[in-house]
C-alpha cells in the first residue's frame, strides 16, 4: 500500500514549493493537500468533503502548517492526538515561525518534530529530502486505523 | 464612569470613611485611658497620628473627615468622660486651629502622593499594553513577511534550476540578483526580529561568567570557519549581573563582528577583558581588523547604518543596534574606539552590582 503524505497548508506558493521540493529529491509518494484545519480533520476522520473515505488508510506523515484559517494548526494537532484513530500518526510541524512559544506548544501538544520552513529554496529542498527519507523510508510507521 | 467603576468608587469612599471614624474612636479611647493622667493638656496628642493614618489610607476626604471628627470629639465627646472641658481659653482654640490646619495640610499632601502613585501605575499599565502590542506586531511582521519572501526566493530558484539553460547570461544574472536580494531580506527580517525580541523580553539578571560565554561563542565561530585561525585572548572569571540569554546575544554580536572584520587580516587577534575608563569598570572586546573612522562613531550603533559596503564585509547593520539595546536595558553604557585598518575596541560597562574580575 502506497504511503500518503497529508500536507496541511493554506498558502498555495508554499504548497507548490513543498511539492517541488519533494519531487526534486525523488520522493514521488502521493501528497494530499488540504487548505485549512477543518479540511485536514475532514480528511483524517472521513467527514465533510471527505465523507466516505476509508479511514483505515491513514497518512504515513502529516506535514502541518501552523497559521491556518478557521481551525489553526495547534488545534488540529490537539484533535489528532485526542482521537484514538489518529493519535499515533506522525505529525511534523512545518512552519515559518521559529518563536520559542510555538515550538514549546507544538511539542506539548504532541508533535513528533518541528521544522522551520527555510527562506532559501535550496535549503527547503534539502529539508524536504531529509524529512521524506526519514519518515517515509527509515521510520517504521505505527499501525493506525479503527480498532478491529 | 461605568456602573462597575462607580460601585467600586462608592465602596472605597465608605471604606475610607470607616477608617477615619475608626482611628478617631481609637484616638479618643486612648486619650481617655491610659492617657487620662494628662487631663486636659495635650488635647490633640492622639488625634494627630490618627488623622495622619486616615489621610495615608484614604487621602484628602478621609483626612478631612478625621480632622472634623477629632475636633468634635475633643469639643463634645471627651469632656463628659473626663469631667472637664478641653477647650477653655483662646490658647486652646488656637491649638485646635493649628490642629485643623496641620491636618488639612497633611491630608492634602497624602492626596497628592496617592494621585501621583495612581498616575504612575496607569503609565506603567499603558506601557505594558504598548509592549504587548509591539510584541504581536513584530511577530506577525516577521512571520507574514517571510511567507511571500520564501515564495519569491523559491520560484526564482526553480526558474534558475529548471529553465536557466534557456536564458542567456544576463537573464541568469537577473535571477541571481533576485535570489541575493531575497536572502538579504531574509537576514534583515531575522535580525529585526532578534532586535525586537531584545526589546520585549523580560530582563532577568543573574551572575553570568562572561569569560565563559566568550569562550563558548568563540569556539562556535571557529567551528563555523575552520579555515581561519584567530588568536583569542580572554581574561578568565569575569562576571557580571546580566540576563543570560541577552548576554549571549550580546557576545554573539560583538565577537561575531570582531571575527568578521579581522577576516582580511593575516594574524587576526581578538581580546576580551576588563579595564577602567573614567573611573568605571568596563568590559572590552578588541580586534586588530578593519576598524573604523572615529568621525563616523555616532553612526556605529544606529540600526541599518553601516560603515562598510556589503561587498567589503557582509552584514545587516542591526548587530550593534541590538548590542546597544541589550546594554541599555541593563542600565549600562556602550562605546567604541577605532582607527581605520587599526582595529576597534568596544567597551561596555554595567551598573556596579557584580563580583569577580579585578
Query: Residue B30's pLDDT is what?
Result: 84
How close A147 comes to chain B (CA, Å)? 40
Residue range A31-45: mean pLDDT, rounded: 92
Query: Residue B86's pLDDT is what?
Result: 77
- Integer-rounded Cα radius of gyration of chain B: 34
Which 8-state DSSP code applies to residue B238? B
Query: Residue B78's pLDDT is what?
Result: 80
Contact A119 B151 (CB under 8 A): no
Give CA torsion, residues B263, B265, B271, B277, to 10 deg. Answer: -110
| B96 grid coordinates | 485646635
Mean pLDDT of chain A: 88
Residues 6+ apart with CB under 8 A from B281: B274, B275, B349, B352, B357, B358
Contact B155 A17 (CB under 8 A): yes
Contact A121 B154 (CB under 8 A): yes
Q: Is the pLDDT of residue A44 over 50?
A: yes
Label residue B108 by pLDDT band (50, 70, 90): very high
Task: Using a pLDDT cut of 70, give the percent of chain B over it.
Answer: 97
Residues 6+ apart with CB under 8 A from B91: none
Strand partners, A91: A62
Q: Is the pLDDT of residue B358 over 70?
A: no
Question: What's the predicted TM-score (pTM) here?
Answer: 0.59
Residue range B154-159: mean pLDDT, rounded: 90
Strand partners, B206: B242
Higher pLDDT, residue B134 or B68? B68
Contacts of B145 in chain A (CB under 8 A): none
Label residue A147 by pLDDT band (50, 70, 90): low
Q: Is the pLDDT of residue B355 over 50?
A: no
CB-nearest to B153 from A20, A96, A121 is A121
Q: Is the pLDDT of residue B357 over 50?
A: no
Query: Residue B140's pLDDT is what?
Result: 77
Query: Residue B354's pLDDT is what?
Result: 47
Chain B interface, mutation test: which of A14, A15, A119, A124, most B Cβ atoms within 10 Å?
Answer: A119
Label residue A9 by pLDDT band (50, 70, 90): very high
Mean pLDDT of chain B: 86
Report the length, in residues, of chain A. 148
- Tens of pLDDT along A67-116? 888 888 999 999 999 999 899 999 999 988 777 788 999 999 999 999 98
* Residue A100 forms contact with B (CB below 8 Å): no
- Tens of pLDDT along B275-329? 998 888 999 999 999 988 888 888 888 777 777 777 777 777 788 888 998 999 8
Contact B150 A99 (CB under 8 A): no
Amino acid at each position: 500500500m502506497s504511503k500518503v503524505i497529508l500536507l496541511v497548508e493554506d498558502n498555495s506558493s508554499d504548497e507548490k514549493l513543498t511539492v517541488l521540493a519533494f519531487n526534486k529529491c525523488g520522493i514521488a509518494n502521493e501528497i494530499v493537500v488540504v487548505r485549512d484545519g477543518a479540511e485536514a480533520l475532514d480528511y483524517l476522520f472521513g467527514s465533510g468533503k471527505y465523507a466516505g473515505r476509508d479511514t483505515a488508510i491513514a497518512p504515513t506523515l502529516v506535514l502541518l502548517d501552523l497559521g491556518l484559517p478557521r481551525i489553526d494548526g495547534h488545534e488540529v494537532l490537539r484533535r489528532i492526538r485526542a482521537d484514538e484513530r489518529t493519535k499515533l500518526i506522525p505529525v511534523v510541524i512545518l512552519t515559518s515561525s521559529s518563536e520559542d512559544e510555538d515550538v514549546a506548544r507544538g511539542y506539548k501538544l504532541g508533535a513528533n518534530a518541528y521544522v522551520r520552513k527555510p527562506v532559501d529554496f535550496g535549503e527547503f529542498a534539502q529539508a524536504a529530502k531529509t524529512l521524506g527519507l526519514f519518515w517515509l523510508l527509515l521510520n517504521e510507521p505505527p499501525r493506525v486505523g479503527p480498532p478491529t | 464612569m461605568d456602573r462597575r467603576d462607580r460601585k467600586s468608587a462608592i465602596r472605597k469612599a465608605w471604606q475610607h470613611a470607616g477608617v477615619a471614624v475608626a482611628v478617631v474612636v481609637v484616638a479618643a479611647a486612648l486619650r481617655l485611658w491610659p492617657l487620662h493622667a494628662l487631663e486636659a493638656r495635650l488635647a490633640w496628642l492622639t488625634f494627630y497620628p490618627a488623622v495622619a493614618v486616615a489621610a495615608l489610607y484614604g487621602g484628602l476626604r478621609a483626612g478631612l473627615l478625621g480632622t472634623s471628627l477629632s475636633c468634635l470629639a475633643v469639643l463634645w465627646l471627651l469632656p463628659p468622660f473626663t469631667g472637664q472641658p478641653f477647650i477653655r481659653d483662646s490658647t486652646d482654640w488656637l491649638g485646635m486651629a493649628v490642629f485643623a490646619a496641620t491636618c488639612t495640610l497633611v491630608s492634602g499632601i497624602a492626596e497628592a502622593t496617592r494621585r501621583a502613585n495612581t498616575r504612575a501605575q496607569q503609565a506603567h499599565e499603558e506601557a505594558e499594553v504598548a509592549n504587548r502590542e509591539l510584541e504581536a506586531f513584530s511577530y506577525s511582521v516577521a512571520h507574514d513577511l517571510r511567507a511571500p519572501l520564501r515564495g519569491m526566493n523559491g520560484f526564482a530558484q526553480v526558474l534558475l534550476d529548471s529553465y536557466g539553460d534557456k536564458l542567456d547570461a544576463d537573464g541568469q544574472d537577473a535571477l541571481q540578483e533576485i535570489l541575493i536580494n531575497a536572502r538579504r531580506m531574509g537576514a534583515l527580517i531575522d535580525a529585526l526580529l532578534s532586535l525586537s525580541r531584545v526589546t520585549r523580553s523580560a530582563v532577568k539578571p543573574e551572575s553570568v561568567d562572561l569569560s565563559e560565554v566568550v569562550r563558548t561563542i568563540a569556539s562556535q565561530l571557529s567551528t563555523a570557519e575552520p579555515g581561519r585561525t584567530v588568536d583569542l585572548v580572554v581574561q578568565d572569571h569575569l562576571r557580571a549581573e546580566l540576563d543570560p540569554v541577552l548576554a549571549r546575544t550580546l557576545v554573539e554580536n560583538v565577537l561575531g563582528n570582531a571575527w568578521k572584520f579581522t577576516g582580511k587580516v593575516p594574524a587576526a587577534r581578538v581580546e576580551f577583558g576588563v579595564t577602567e575608563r573614567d573611573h568605571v569598570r568596563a568590559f572590552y572586546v578588541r580586534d586588530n581588523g578593519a576598524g573604523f573612522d572615529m568621525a563616523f562613531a555616532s553612526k556605529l550603533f544606529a540600526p541599518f547604518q553601516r560603515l562598510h559596503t556589503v561587498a567589503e564585509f557582509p552584514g545587516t547593520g542591526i548587530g550593534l543596534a541590538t548590542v546597544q539595546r541589550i546594554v541599555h536595558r541593563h542600565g549600562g553604557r556602550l562605546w567604541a574606539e577605532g582607527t581605520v585598518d587599526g582595529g576597534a575596541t568596544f567597551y561596555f560597562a554595567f551598573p556596579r552590582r557584580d563580583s569577580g574580575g579585578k
